[in-house]
A and B are shown apart, each in its own frame.
Chain A
Amino acid sequence: MIYKMHQKKVKKYIEKIKEILFLNSLNNFLIILLIFTICIFSLQSFSSVIFNSKWSVVTTNIPLFAFGTFPSDQSWRPIIWIVSLLLTSVLSIIPPKWKWLRKNLLFAWMGMIPLGIFLLYGGLGLQTVMSRNFGGLTLTIFLTVCSSMFALPLGIGLAFCRQSSLFVVKKLSSIYIDTMRAIPLIAVLFFGQLLIPLFLPLGLEIDRVWRAIFAFTLFVSAYIAEDIRGGLQAIPNTQIESAKSLGLNQLQIIKFILIPQSLRIALPALTNQVIGLFQNTSLMSILGLVEFLGIGRSILANPKFIGQYIEVYIWLASVYWIICTILALMAKYLEKRLKIA
């Protein structure tokens, strides 16, 4: 009796297992079929890229892509700058054990711009380099880093002004933010490149790179201000009350409670802004700066490499993709770490 029942049970199990296996094998078959078809299609359409492309257009021009027409014996300077940037960002994301270093990371970041200016422009013992020789990825990174570092404090300021109880301050900042958001970026960049020189008095000249940084900063700060405002509104009023009850004054509440918390809430949106800014710097290639995309275009204009669009653009796209992915991953990691705190 018991033995029979066991047999029945075993049979049931076997059936079940068969069912699962059969379903699975059908699934597996479908998946393999799908992958196979995708492979065939992509082989057909990209075969010219895979088999016929001549990557020498990229490999021979690597220094150009990286540094533009920066003097080749001086190319260690941008390398040092970019490496120190990477180092600071890694340190900010994976916090070091030493407390003093953690406390001074903000100053390290603020020091990045003067360091970049010193290393790129030269002076003070280094050979000076004109900004028209900047180019490639170096220029793209320089534009992104400088613009975002200027835009962040400006955006925070604008966000607080927009919440101010002073009518004039509030109105002025909201007019600024709304106007900037209503103008396309390319128009602001044109304004920076073409109109600013007309407004400046004779003899005073700001170089093109800085005019671009100026325009980007104006534009991005309006968006950052809105992101920060969203963060500010998400902070419960009880936080401000408990800070007040501890005797902190208005400025201290802003510095110790509101700014850190709103930045934390706005972090995903701010990452978005930085990635967007990084990609938008490519617009400057239309306005005569040979940043990463611009270098690609000027290489394509060289008779030696004529017609090799596919190689150059695949290369450009993949570098942009890699850098943006790295930025996104860093931000994701940072978000995760800040979640506990």
Chain B
Amino acid sequence: MNTIIKVKNISKSYSKGLLALDKVSLKVNQGKVLVIMGPSGSGKSTLIRTFNGLETFDTGEIDILGIKINSNYNERRIQKIRKRVGMVFQQFNLFPHLSILDNITLAPLNVQKRSRVDAEEFGMYLLQKMGISMHAEKYPSQLSGGEQQRVAIARALALKPELLLFDEPTSALDPERINEVLDVMRKLAQEGMTMVVVTHEINFAKDVSDQILFMDSGKVIETSTPDIFFSNAKHERSRKFLNQLDK
């Protein structure tokens, strides 16, 4: 089985000596879903953002799809990774001045240099898959949060990525709208997409994930399968966190 992500002992500290990441190591195989959980400020977002070079780190090494990056910022390698890795953000971050379809075709047209017909066809296919093809000509501000997030997922998929990163994709949504996004993500996981998801959605983590990574103050506290993690967590800290979530 191919290893998609291999992280070896990465650390990152902020100027005040605060450790954002403290010797984090992990491995994700092809077709697997890794869910990262932890209290806010535990470094989960920082970790997931290092995977496509949005965040730098001080020591250690990351190997993504066979491309190695280390503490020296290497624009060309990071660019190579970004072309093969999609990312979905908490605040959707759609481009407000472009129509939905243009949002999706922007990268295929300009990064992959595909033809317009080809890119638009694939874009429409993705929108159909997300169940929002009727909004193709609208603008992001005319859509609800859940619809915007599904557009963002379609935009990330437009480059046919081999790995998808989700940074708290449902945290900015209405409770009623969360499921429409989670359903799409479930579908992707079933299709065998390799995913790393930072989330607080316990049910999603239970159903979909193959592995759960629990972090606190920059350290990996525990890595287990969802069965073990939710019923019988190894660590005191994880149990405390889960109790808090249940309340």
With contacts A247-B79, A247-B111, A256-B110 taken as known, whether A242 is within 8 angstroms of B87 at the C-beta atoms is: yes
With contacts A245-B82, A249-B79 taken as known, whether A341 is within 8 angstroms of B96 at the C-beta atoms is: yes
Q: Indicate if the CB atoms of A257 and B91 lie closer than 8 Å.
A: no
Q: Chain A contacts of B141 at CB under 8 A? A: 340-341
* Residues of A that sit less than 8 Å from B by CB: 238-239, 241-249, 252, 256-257, 260-261, 264, 338, 340-341
- B247 interfacial by beta-carbon distance below 8 Å: no
- B106 interfacial by beta-carbon distance below 8 Å: yes
User: When A and B form their complex, what is the total count of cross-chain residue pairs whose Cβ atoms lie within 8 Å?
Assistant: 65
Q: Indicate if the CB atoms of B95 and A239 lie closer than 8 Å.
A: yes
Contact of A340 (CB < 8 Å), options: B54, B79, B142: B142
- B139 interfacial by beta-carbon distance below 8 Å: yes
Chain A nearest Cβ from B142, distance in angstroms: 7
Query: Closest residue of chain A to B140, judged by CB?
Result: A341
Name the interface residues of B63-116: CB closer than 8 Å to any CB of A.
79, 82-83, 85-87, 89, 91, 93-99, 106-107, 110-111
Complex: A261 Cα to B156 Cα, angstroms = 21
Q: Indicate if the CB atoms of B93 and A341 lie closer than 8 Å.
A: no
Q: Indicate if the CB atoms of A245 and B111 lie closer than 8 Å.
A: no
Query: Closest residue of chain B to A242, judged by CB?
Result: B93
Q: Chain A contacts of B89 at CB under 8 A? A: 238, 241-242, 245
- B44 interfacial by beta-carbon distance below 8 Å: no
Q: Indicate if the CB atoms of A238 and B93 lie closer than 8 Å.
A: yes
Determine the main DSSP class of A at the interface with B: helix
Chain B nearest Cβ from A337, distance in angstroms: 11
Chain A nearest Cβ from B115, distance in angstroms: 16
Complex: A241 Cα to B79 Cα, angstroms = 13
Q: Indicate if the CB atoms of B155 and A246 lie closer than 8 Å.
A: yes
Q: Chain B contacts of A261 at CB under 8 A? A: 95-97
Chain B nearest Cβ from A341, distance in angstroms: 5
With contacts A256-B110, A340-B139 taken as known, whether A244 is within 8 angstroms of B93 at the C-beta atoms is: no
* Besides A246-B155, A256-B106, 10 new A-B residue pairs in contact (Cβ under 8 A), listed by A number: A242-B87, A242-B94, A245-B52, A245-B85, A246-B111, A247-B82, A247-B107, A248-B106, A340-B142, A341-B96
Q: Indicate if the CB atoms of A341 and B97 lie closer than 8 Å.
A: yes
Complex: A264 Cα to B139 Cα, angstroms = 15
- B185 interfacial by beta-carbon distance below 8 Å: no
Q: Chain A contacts of B95 at CB under 8 A? A: 239, 242-243, 256-257, 261
Q: Indicate if the CB atoms of B93 and A239 lie closer than 8 Å.
A: yes
Kindly supply a per-residue 1/0 record for chain B positions 122-160, scoring 1 wherever the CB is within 8 Å of any chain A CB and 0 otherwise: 000000000000000001011000000000100110010
Q: Could you write out 6 A-B pairs with CB less than 8 Å apart?
A: A246-B107, A246-B111, A247-B79, A248-B110, A260-B97, A261-B96
